[in-house]
Amino acid sequence: MKKLLTLVLVACMLLGVASVSVAEGADLKYAVILKTTNSDFWRTMYDGVAAYAEANGIKVDMYAAQSDTDYEGQLSILESCINSGEYAGIALAPCNGVNLISGVKKANEAGIVVWNIDEKLNPEEMASQGAVCVGFDSSDNVQIGHMGGEYLSSLLEEGAEVAVIEGLAGNQSSEDRAAGAKAAFEESKMALIGAKSCDWDRQIAMDTAATWIEQFPNLKAIYCCNDGMAMGAIQAVINAGKVGQIYVCGTDGDGDAIASVAEGNLTATVAQDPAQIGIVGLQGLIAAVADPAAYPASANPEKTPVAAILVNAENAAGMVK
């Protein structure tokens, strides 16, 4: 657990969300707590929010857990932010749907506005603990999974054997993406031969894909719920000498995944816009602090969607960093 960055700036520029200007909250300070910075996705979100804050004169402290399974560490960060008394609002991307709920409740009791980013806090548990947020923004994870499954299906004949590599069991983003991919496969009349949680781990995904390739010689496609696991799966395909015979689609649009698509290995990745997801969260938080009546707090706040795009052989080269 550590503070990563403090941005304290004084320029007054228009924020552009709900007609709220930075000047209206010039003396206010905000915290943004991310899941981790251990992947391209989260580093891009971190850098994007930091750059946006600097460009717009917003006082922001940026934090992140040590890993996406550092549940207690992330909660400690949140509690420290609350206890500091420094922040008018906190935007947070929880490690899972429940690990920060007790902290959100404490923030509510302290009069600190809370906005939920990316991974949705579980509405039932939020209600049970009496915790509320003023907003939530994310990509539509069901749609993301559906985009990946639909694209893979478009490359295959009806009845082709397909599989899904999922993230951590119980993680809402993983469950939603997997559900979307499975729905797309079913709609296209694909034959789902397996779905397995691989804990967001590249090695586990590679081993799982290798086992499937051996057990199901007619396997034609694998959808993966993030790009780290997709890179593991495509390595198993490469090792089996089946590039071009087994298609693999990842999720997130990480730099190494996009490069792999451009090189002709990975078939596709559904790219989220992590910088924009973080920025929309900060914008919403500031707007809610300035105009609470326009952002009623709820255990199940309305979602502000952020669009995703499919990266394949047609557009990957132009997106390689």
| pLDDT for position 19 | 33
**In angstroms, what CA-CA distances link 288 with 102, 147, 223, 250, 266?**
21, 32, 37, 34, 41
| pLDDT for position 40 | 86
CATH tag, 2-138+274-306: 3.40.50.2300
d(CA 38, CA 64) in angstroms, rounded, equals: 10
Please identify, in words, the CATH class of the domain defined by 141-271. alpha beta
- Of 114 and 26, the structure prediction assigns the larger pLDDT to 114
| pLDDT for position 104 | 99
Number of helices (H), then strands (E), belonging to the chain: the values are 10, 15
Spatial CA neighbour of 229 closest among 275, 185, 181: 181
Residue type, 102: S
Residues 126-140 have pLDDT tens digits of 999 999 999 999 999
- Of 319 and 84, the structure prediction assigns the larger pLDDT to 84
* Domain spans of the chain, in order of start: 2-138+274-306, 141-271
Least confident of 53-57, 152-156, 271-275: 271-275
| pLDDT for position 61 | 98
Report the share of the chain in percent with pLDDT over 90.
87
User: Would you say the CATH fold of 141-271 matches that of 2-138+274-306?
Assistant: yes
Q: What's the rounded mean pLDDT across residues 196-214?
A: 98
